[in-house]
Copies of this chain bind each other. A is one copy, B any other.
Amino acid sequence: MSKFRDLALNLAIEAETAAPAMAAADGGRKNAVLLALADLLEKSAKRLIAANLKDLLAARKAGLSPARLDRLTLNQRRISAMADGARQVAALPDPVGRVLDGAVRPNGLRLSRIAVPLGVILLVYESRPNVTVDAACLSLKSGNACILRGGREAFISNRELGRLVSRALKSAGLPERAAQVAGAPDRELVTSLLALDRHIDLVVPRGGKELVAEVLEHSRIPVLKHLEGICHTYVDASADPGLAKRVVLNAKTDRPSTCNATETLLVHHDLAGVFLPDCLAALAGAGVEIRADPATETIAGRAGVNVVKATEEDWKTEYNELILSVKVVPDLDSAIRHINSYGSRHTDAIITSSLTAAERFQREVDSSSVMVNASTRLADGHEYGLGAEIGISTGKLHARGPVGLEGLTTYKWLVEGSGHLRE
């Protein structure tokens, strides 16, 4: 353990030492790093693919699933995508230096509150090597030093990518250690890093629930966390059934593995008989398994759609696949109550033509995104125009919902006087 503690402390201190130069770098210099990295990635494609092959061979031997092997794979197309990603981040506005607010006080004291980098960011993720580049770009663009800790299966690929990031930093006259790929592929290293709250300002876990839970469990550092996405779509009595069907289908089937996919459909009792037969048939036609409450089951039975009985557990479950739980509710209040008690405060939508219902839903549902007549799948940094997405935060502090580059900054107060005293 002590070996990892030393290793972790060393990484953290190197990052901390590099942080002031990153914080002081202007936008042009930071963009130069990202553009140089994009070029290096393209020029080094062969070398990267060769390094990746070593990871892939070991992973195949270790019996990784085809899906995980696919995520681990680097090829020409994915390398080009990483380079394009770096160029896109370079094109974004600099989140550092924005004047957030300011005032001249009655005594003449001048105040301004400006965005500054957090300092050192630790990114913990799984076996997609492209996250290494993405995470480095976002951290550096926001003026932070970063420690990149990917899954052990991707270690050789990540080390190679880390070298390119360091070369790009050096070429722009910034410290090579402003981005470091955490060396040893051991889990204890992560635990040791997570204890270093005096050196690391923020941890961003990017990956499945288990990864996030493990980081939360061990971290003394604040965590920008994404826990669960149990998203609901509630179809109100006044909804347009055709519009509701299109939105529900999109929210469930567009990409069921994502956190903003709808997991539970709630339908107002008055519309259920009209709306559900058609909607359930369309869902079933798209390969969706329906977990139905008794009222839905009855309607589905009459409509000839096969369903499974929902259990209490279903209302608490993030399926992340083509499964949808469906419940008929007597009114808007019940829908809001259901969402606030079973949901994960991520993203919930109402489909309605009633202004009152829309307003009450948006006011009373306590979720990071509350939508009217739109697919929950739209809860996304790019869709919200944030440029880049660090992640979707299910925490309420610092950042909530889709988080852009600003999520990797804090602020400081600049105060200017002419000999001002506290009287």
Q: Using a CB–CB distance below 8 Å, which chain A residues touch chain B?
A: 20, 23-24, 103, 105, 109, 111, 116, 118-119, 201-202, 222, 240, 243, 246-247, 250, 254-255, 340, 358, 362-364, 366-375, 377-380, 383-385, 395-398, 400-402, 410-422
- The contact of A222 among B371, B373, B397, B417, by CB within 8 Å, is B397
Give the Cβ gap from A229 to chain B, nearest Cβ, in Å: 14
Q: Which residue of B lies closest to A371 (CB)?
A: B415
**Considering the chains assembled together, what is the distance between the CA atoms of A380 and B369 in angstroms?**
34
Question: How many subunits of this chain does the assembly comprise?
Answer: 2
Q: Is the CB of B413 within 8 A of A374?
A: no
- The contact of A400 among B255, B395, B411, B422, by CB within 8 Å, is B411
Q: List the B side residues contacting A416 at CB < 8 Å.
A: 358, 371-374
Q: Which residue of B lies closest to A105 (CB)?
A: B385
Q: Which residue of B lies closest to A351 (CB)?
A: B419
Q: Is the CB of A374 within 8 A of B415?
A: yes
**Considering the chains assembled together, what is the distance between the CA atoms of A358 and B414 in angstroms?**
10
Q: Is the CB of A20 within 8 A of B340?
A: yes
Q: Is the CB of B421 within 8 A of A363?
A: no
Q: Is the CB of A415 within 8 A of B20?
A: no
Q: Could you show 28 A-B contacts with beta carbons less than 8 Å apart?
A: A24-B363, A103-B385, A111-B384, A111-B385, A116-B366, A119-B366, A202-B396, A202-B397, A243-B418, A246-B419, A247-B421, A362-B414, A369-B415, A370-B413, A370-B414, A370-B415, A371-B414, A371-B416, A372-B415, A373-B417, A374-B416, A375-B417, A377-B422, A378-B415, A378-B420, A378-B421, A384-B413, A397-B410
Q: Which residue of B lies closest to A400 (CB)?
A: B410
Known: A358-B416, A370-B413, A373-B418. 10 other contacts (CB 8 A): A24-B364, A103-B384, A109-B374, A243-B418, A246-B421, A371-B414, A373-B417, A375-B422, A378-B415, A398-B398
Q: List the B side residues contacting A417 at CB < 8 Å.
A: 371-375, 378
Chain A, interface SS category: mixed
Q: Is the CB of A201 within 8 A of B396?
A: yes
Q: List the B side residues contacting A420 at CB < 8 Å.
A: 247, 373-375, 378
**Considering the chains assembled together, what is the distance between the CA atoms of A111 and B111 in angstroms?**
30
Give the Cβ gap from A335 to chain B, nearest Cβ, in Å: 14
Give the Cβ gap from A105 to chain B, nearest Cβ, in Å: 6
- The contact of A377 among B243, B254, B385, B421, by CB within 8 Å, is B421
Most buried by B among A201, A254, A421: A421
**Considering the chains assembled together, what is the distance between the CA atoms of A380 and B400 in angstroms?**
27
Give the Cβ gap from A176 to chain B, nearest Cβ, in Å: 21
Among all A-B residue pairs, the 5 with the closest Cβ atoms: A374-B417, A377-B422, A250-B421, A374-B420, A371-B415
Q: List the B side residues contacting A373 at CB < 8 Å.
A: 416-420
**Considering the chains assembled together, what is the distance between the CA atoms of A384 and B380 in angstroms?**
35
Give the Cβ gap from A374 to chain B, nearest Cβ, in Å: 3
Q: Is the CB of B118 within 8 A of A396?
A: yes
Q: Which residue of B lies closest to A417 (CB)?
A: B374
Q: Is the CB of B119 within 8 A of A396?
A: yes
Q: Which residue of B lies closest to A23 (CB)?
A: B366
Q: List the B side residues contacting A222 at CB < 8 Å.
A: 222, 395, 397
Q: List the B side residues contacting A413 at CB < 8 Å.
A: 368-370, 379, 384, 400-402
Q: List the B side residues contacting A240 at CB < 8 Å.
A: 419
**Considering the chains assembled together, what is the distance between the CA atoms of A362 and B24 in angstroms?**
11
Most buried by B among A363, A414, A420: A420
Q: List the B side residues contacting A103 at CB < 8 Å.
A: 384-385
**Considering the chains assembled together, what is the distance between the CA atoms of A366 and B201 in angstroms?**
13
